Structure 1
Amino acid sequence: MLEAFVIGTILCGFLGIIFKKNLLMKIVSMDVMSTGVIAYYVLVASRSGLFTPIILDERQERYADPVPQAVILTAIVIGFSIQALMLVGVMKLARDNPTLETSEIEKKNTP
């Protein structure tokens, strides 16, 4: 059930990127899709019954892998920086164009 909601979030973000014409809405849709992908990765990587990789006196056989956590943190930081860069680009584009609709921008900038 949770997987269906996460995949639905990814699909909503993907459809927003394709069908929305406003550049700001495309950036928000990309962020929604990115959040869904990260949530799906966390959902797949999480397993019950695993212990944290901390050295204790007793021997524990099944350790949780810390690599997915590092990958997810890296993905969040990279996603945030890409979103900030795209927003700066849209701000610079908004100085020259009164609208952020892609069809209007294409009409104005085609020779």
Structure 2
Amino acid sequence: MQVIWSPDAEKELDHIVEYCLITFGKRTATKVYQQIKHYDELLAQNPLMGKHETLLEKYPQGFRSFVEHNHYKLIYYIDKQKNIIRIVDIWDTHRNPESLVERLK
């Protein structure tokens, strides 16, 4: 399966990397980026690796998620008809959980 990032997820990844660059430096920012992007390969090989995202159960896409890099949760769904995995958000787990529902409306 091919992994595709939504524009919103890409923008969130850019914000995370920029924050790491400013706060911790280039080496850490690069490492965080590589760790997150490594999940493209893992998801392509095992699309069901994430758990069902209970906060988003009411949506028909069947959102799944897993926590990456301690404070970030990758939110994605599997589109079997198109044979793709779409990453729709990277969500900071420090946020109010209800805000995740609002972000994906």
- Compare CA radii of gyration and give the structure with the larger one: 1
- Structure with the larger helix share: 1
Query: Could you tell me the TM-score, scaled by structure 1's length?
Result: 0.26
Larger RCO, structure (CA 8 Å, separation 6 or more) = 2
- Structure with the larger strand share: 2
